[in-house]
Amino acid sequence: MLHDGLPAGWPRRFAIATITIGLSMSVLANSMTNLALPYIAHDLAISAENSIWIVNASQIALMVTLLPVAALADIVGYRHVYRAGLALFCLASLACALSPSLPWLIAARTFQGLGGAAIMSVQPALVRAIYPRNMLGRGLGFNTTVVATSLAAGPSIGAALLTLWSWPLLFAIYIPLGIVSFFLGERYLPHTTHVHRPFDVLSAILSGVTFGLLIFGIDGIAHGHRPLMIVAELGGALAMGTLFVWRQTRLADPMMPVDMFRRPVFTLSITAGSCTFTAQGLAFVSLPFFFHTVLGKSATDTGILLTAWPLALAAIAPVAGRLADRHHAGVLGAIGLTCMTSGLILTALLPADPTTFDIMWRLVLCGAGFGIFGAPNNRLMMNAVPRERSGSAGGIIATARTLGQTMGAALVALIFGLFDFSGGGAAEAAKAALWLSASFAGTALVIGSLRMKLQR
């Protein structure tokens, strides 16, 4: 049994390297695929509308399996689930690279999403097992930096690879990376205590159906599907979700440990985190349209402007992680969310003809604020649960993050439809999305600040 992290030196460094590679792969898989959609649509002779399912397939698979995979990791061990996720991700990436048709590619992307769920759901638990307790914030901050750097670098890396060869290279590149991480994980990832309980198949089905119906319902609202179908999907999600939660309260060892939510610090932190990721999703999806359509920026200029947020996040997250090991997480979170909310409000208030500096310092403020909030918030959540339930806690955190990002993107689509984005309402629609983003960040600030009284 591992009590307080791996010993300093190469064992810890190689363990960090393997989870860094896996996390980078899972983040890059979506950002680079988005870039390649026009090329894939042309080569496979499919419509742009149908090509969206290449992205959606992975996201849906990821969302519906995060909680079951995290619960399985508590039972069989985090390192085993992580390495199985890497193997599946690599095989699916090979299938993506060799795809001759859209159905083949969608199926391969679905399995890639399953592999990504195994990689992402156990990340917080592995960080907790690798780093000593007094360095947990530093470890989580470094993970945040990896995510932010991968988001920022994804489009540039994808563009560079597309100049070397066609879109299959964007999937094939993960195969050697995954193999390296797989063998490093076998040698250096720590062995952790397993929880001796059976895997609850019924809970896994209820969880998957709940989140699957929820995503389809949210997507239906955003894209103007028939009201009856949307009501049926969201109603089904509510019914299945209620059954899922009820079942968890009846089990001695639930898949989603609902007793965690009886701890106010955990509940407030996960709610604040979900609101923050919704705010980020709203901003990340609406800003490219705002820069390109409203301000008339070129694709290159838009890409440069958008890197300000993730680069600021990447720069500040390690510092925030170190501070979280020594200072009040509630105070750090309040400072970070104040910066993020202020940055979003100031971005929504941009003048009609802003300079590059006008835009970038606002996005730097948003990214830095998100970075100051993120690592302390994750550290607080992980320390609020027993070590042997780290996998389940990590699954809840990853689910909240993915659901928040999905909600943000769907809300942008809904707003653009309400404001007739293509019919001349582009500026109003983009500003409305940014104001809604600021409101979610402000809500997170209020919720997160409540934790300061609980930690005194």
Residues in the chain with pLDDT < 50? 1-2, 456
Tokens 């399985």 locate to 72
Nearest in space to 340 (alpha carbons), one of 357, 323, 305, 364: 364
Residue 2, amino acid: L
Give the 3-state secondary structure percentages of the chain, helix then strand then coil, rounded to 5: 85, 0, 15
Nearest to 342 by CA among 374, 315, 317, 369: 369
- The predicted pLDDT at position 420 comes to 65
First CA to last CA distance, the chain? 32
Whole-angstrom CA distances from 104 to 59, 94, 399 are: 16, 12, 27
Give whole-number Cα distances, 85 to 281, 357, 419, in Å.
Answer: 25, 42, 42
Whose tokens are 């007793």? That residue is: 259
What six digits make up the tokens of 373?
A: 């909030």
Cβ count near 114 (within 10 Å): 21
Could you tell me the fold of the domain covering 259-456? Growth Hormone; Chain: A; (1.20.1250)
What distance in Å separates the CA atoms of residue 360 and residue 294, rounded to the nearest whole number?
16
- The label of the residue with tokens 């698979």 reads 61
pLDDT in tens, 428-437: 888 888 999 9
Equal fold, 1-198 vs 259-456: yes
Amino acid, single-letter form, for residue 219: D
pLDDT given for residue 2 in this prediction: 46
Q: Which two tokens stand for residue 365?
A: 């403020």
Q: Give CATH for domain 1-198.
A: 1.20.1250.20
Pairwise CA distance, residues 200 & 449, whole Å: 36
C-alpha to C-alpha distance for 305 and 287, rounded to whole angstroms: 9
Q: What is the pLDDT of residues 157-173, one digit of tens each?
A: 777 787 788 888 888 88
Tell me, rounded to whole angstroms, the distance of Cα 427 from its chain centroid.
28
pTM of the predicted structure, to 2 decimals:
0.76
Domain ranges of the chain: 1-198, 201-250, 259-456
Amino acid, res. 144: T
The whole-number pLDDT of residue 211 equals 83
3-state secondary structure at position 7: coil
Whether the Cβ atoms of residue 21 and residue 89 lie closer than 8 Å to each other: no
pLDDT of residue 456: 45
60 residue type, one letter = I
